[in-house]
Structure 1
């Protein structure tokens, strides 16, 4: 009604002027065309039929499954491979010629914008977690036998010796994108954030392609946007039960829309000493340098980006539950689900209110 009234007011104004009649008619026609265009735009509908496009494969030392919906068949395999390639070339410690591997070998490398983004974000999360997220703990990961580097016979002397090189506060990046380390032996390892970052890059690629509905999964980390238009339902994803070491069993299902999810746990990555039979888990406490066989069994984090979720999930595995709760209370943009053992060894769960709202029935 307001549009009609506005049109009538303009008509009256036009008729009340000393403009020639022809100019009055032109103005009326222009407004009619504008209203007609608006009416047509308001009637634009989503595609009558959606096509499910899928790419699956292996990358970053794990598997991936990528689903994206459109009004036609598409294949972004080349673009997907390109994303994995550039991330590996910059951040993979498993590739000797990558930028990060060359830096760890003592070379001066001018890093790319991706390396700088990951480094800057890591610094922020390092500060917000009081150092519990620390990419320089990679030297300890290697020494305990969970990384690409040389395993060491670990005892208190070895741990103390290696820990002097640990601490992201001992590393900086210059305006010229060069890495500066206080100690040459400090070892950078972004594996606890790079996978999430790679998924974020895939999501950005999908956005640039004009895809509004997709579900991207790499090694259990996910980004979901829009919804499953084919089923007219939200994307639904499952979270593994951390107490199942062989095979898989889902603990809960949640809706994932316009957010990222990352999980971390000690239930799949561990090593049994062949002589002592002792179990060593892959989570390293960056404060002590020792493997963390704590009461926390698994953590799932929801955030605006998968890199952020990935980093915080790693940090939460290395700290106690109360400290984890304190950080979650201070970081309102994070939601989390923690599975842990209480003092009596009973399995318990903690969920933030925002996470609870997303649990599927």
Structure 2
């Protein structure tokens, strides 16, 4: 009898242990520095893809980084019309063309020279531009003035330059996400500098939960709300941290308005955009919204309901208010 009880107890222990082992999920976490910021990648698989992902970061930089003098985009910006663009550059260029049209030109990578002149680009010039200087640089602005002939970029103005920094980080996330999917990894979260692409669920079987920051200008961090990402990408943009004060005491923000050429704030404090689209797309939309301001952004969201957003702005009393769709 004692042996029988012992056998049953042992069998029960075996089944309990087996069930626990079945519920155990293999999770891999990778982190480091890339694109001038940090990255965190979590996926449900026990294979370490670090070397492959490092290689992907390398080819994205080689194609699209304005901070690398030998990259394809840097050569093109210097006037080399013989550069044969790769598939990555081609996709980003074509996405930019589409989003340029969708946002009525509020997303425009050709503000490159203005971004540099105002002190927020790779040249860090930090000028306090007057209207005449802005108007002169505005002649080069307009993605419709840049075209593709075969695999060569054609510029209407030879000194015009492209800056994909407001879409390339999101695109880099997409490249990593697509790679993981090619390895049959269906549950992952890729985050670079606060931009995110999430697929499937986390190790607890729940959708990936991410935070939206409050627009704190004093450098502190606090959370406005949390969002569950259900096979979605998310990107945020705000001028409350990235700004400088000129010699004249004027505040200049990093979002350059492609319509005016000036580095002045709209009435939006921050824009967090998410949806079942590529991270490159929401990255670009978030930048466009900061230039558009609240009302034009709301009009856009009404026209494109698949895109969701949380827009934080200052109301007439100076208090932080929120719009979401």
What is the TM-score normalised by the length of structure 1? 0.81
SS in 2 for 1:65: strand
1:145 is aligned to 119
Tell me, in whole angstroms, the C-alpha distance in 1 between the residues paired with 2:172 and 2:245.
31
2:237 is aligned to 264
- Matching of residue 199 in structure 1 with residue 173 in structure 2: yes
2:3 is aligned to none
Tell me, in whole angstroms, the C-alpha distance in 2 between the residues paired with 1:199 and 1:211.
15
Tell me, in whole angstroms, the C-alpha distance in 1 between the residues paired with 2:312 and 2:86.
38
Query: Cα offset for 1:161?
Result: 1.0
Query: Cα offset for 1:53?
Result: 0.5
SS in 2 for 1:284: coil
Structure 1 unmatched runs, 5+: 1-45, 353-361
1:164 is aligned to 139
Tell me, in whole angstroms, the C-alpha distance in 1 between the residues paired with 2:61 and 2:181.
22
Tell me, in whole angstroms, the C-alpha distance in 2 between the residues paired with 1:123 and 1:309.
15
SS in 1 for 2:98: helix
Tell me, in whole angstroms, the C-alpha distance in 2 between the residues paired with 1:182 and 1:164.
10
2:289 is aligned, of 309, 316, 334, to 316
Give CA deviations for 1:47-68 in whole Å, capped at 9, x if unaligned.
5321220100000011000001
Change (3 A) 1:199 1:186: same
Any conservation in 2 of the 1:243–1:297 contact (CA below 8 Å)?
no
- Matching of residue 217 in structure 1 with residue 191 in structure 2: yes
What is the TM-score normalised by the length of structure 2? 0.90
- Matching of residue 184 in structure 1 with residue 158 in structure 2: yes
Q: Number of aligned residue pairs: give it.
A: 302
1:79 is aligned, of 41, 48, 52, to 52
Query: Cα offset for 1:277?
Result: 3.4
SS in 1 for 2:40: strand
Structure 2 unmatched runs, 5+: 1-20
SS in 1 for 2:55: helix
Work out which of the two has the higher radius of gyration on C-alpha atoms and give 1 or 2.
1
Give CA deviations for 1:122-179 in whole Å, capped at 9, x if unaligned.
00000011100000011110000001125134111111111111110100011x2100
Structure 1 vs Structure 2 CA RMSD: 1.4
Change (3 A) 1:241 1:102: same
Tell me, in whole angstroms, the C-alpha distance in 1 between the residues paired with 2:279 and 2:191.
10
